Structure 1
Amino acid sequence: MPVSLSMQAEMRAVAVAVVPHTKSPCISLHARSTLFRGRVEVRLNAGSVIAGAVIVHDGQVLLVRRTVPEGELVWQFPAGKVDPGELTQQTATREALEEAGFIVEPLFTIGERVHPMTGRHVVYVACLWLSGEPRPASPQEVSTAEWVPLTELMTRIPGGVHGPVWEYLSNSAT
């Protein structure tokens, strides 16, 4: 089915309107177009924005081990899908509690990217640890929650940590 210019404009409008709470417009409805035999083919991936809680305490960072790995991704920051009407900072706070049993205060957005392993749009939120001990608060999603020294972080997260997150962690640990 050929895509008209008005349909393209509508897709862009929907994509930007879905995530009004970030600093810059981000796409939660991904459209990939290719030229095929003189017409544009558009494939939609109704993705969602994921918010991750980056929590540093006493020179260590909180990671959770996924019960069901997503490809090579086993360890990650507590993270989850941003619900409709929810801000990314609210999601990060909720996920820290739901996945690791932590009460945190969101501080600011560190950065965002399309995750290289999952293809999902992830917003990283710096959070201040207030209380709680690491535990798998949601065993269906998380099998372990641990404080991890920064020196071990790169071995647990394949492909490495997003640059702005690593910079934040490096500065927070000193």
Structure 2
Amino acid sequence: MDVVDQWTGRHATALQFALRMSHDELAARLGIAKRTVAAWHEKADTVLRNELQQALDTLFEQAPQAAKIRFARRLQEADASAIEAAKDSAVRLTAAISVVLKGDNVLLVCRRDSEPSGITWQFPAGVVKPGARPEMIAVRETLAETGVHCKVREELGDRIHPLSKVRCKYFLCDYLAGGAENRDTEENASVLWSPTTDVTNFIPPENIFPPILQYLKGSS
């Protein structure tokens, strides 16, 4: 790594590590307070002011090659840790998914914009906050998104979704009342009842939780 386009707290602390400097030593070298260096460790995304950008450019350019190698490795390790943290965060997030049946039809919603994961059509879903009961979230979010009242018949299982990487808990639900309508126009473009035989026209079969797919095939 020969150039740093923009120094942040993460880059500055990586250089500090590479040069084996204490907070006091780096602060003295840059002409800043020790607490400023300490703050970079706590706020890694902080973009440093222009005069510090230039000072760190000079410090990096003057660093021996071995220090530059340590600097690059440190950044790679930090990036890898950030990616793992993001994965762990996604895994900890749980969504309750409701598969609502009305005769030979199943309720589907269409996201207004295709999500980064590639999901567009899906079953109604809601995020389960700590302490909440997933089955209640499934029922409540179905009503909030579609205007359909339902009740949980059984839990079909759970998995880490192959696209979103979110932990999903799936519930088979029976229709009670209400006409399907798009009540969340900011998030959804459409709501409809699809014949169970046509679900794979909306959602690729490889993205459907296998127990759901098996159930829908058996009910058709």
Structure with the larger strand share: 1
Give me the TM-score of the superposition, normalised by structure 2: 0.57
Alignment-derived partner of residue 153 in structure 2 = 107
Alignment-derived partner of residue 142 in structure 2 = 96
Matched, 1:70 2:136: no
Matched, 1:162 2:212: no
The gaps in structure 2 that reach 5 residues or longer are 1-75
Q: Does the CA-based 8 Å contact 1:110-1:168 persist in structure 2?
A: no
Q: Secondary structure at the match of 1:68?
A: coil
Counterparts of 1:141 and 1:135 in 2: how far apart (Å)? Answer: 13
Matched, 1:151 2:193: no
Shift of 1:123: 0.8
Structure with greater Cα Rg: 2
Q: Secondary structure at the match of 1:167?
A: helix
Q: Does the CA-based 8 Å contact 1:93-1:104 persist in structure 2?
A: yes
Q: Using a 3 Å threshold, how does the CA distance of structure 1 residues 75 and 84 change in structure 2: closer, same or farther?
A: same
The gaps in structure 1 that reach 5 residues or longer are 1-35
RMSD, matched Cα: 2.0
Count of residues in correspondence between the two structures: 136
Q: Secondary structure at the match of 1:70?
A: coil
Matched, 1:44 2:85: yes
Structure with the larger helix share: 2
Q: Using a 3 Å threshold, how does the CA distance of structure 1 residues 41 and 141 change in structure 2: closer, same or farther?
A: closer
Q: Which has the higher contact order (CA 8 A, sep 6+)?
A: 1
Runs of 4+ in 1 over 4 A off after TM superposition: none
Give me the TM-score of the superposition, normalised by structure 1: 0.71
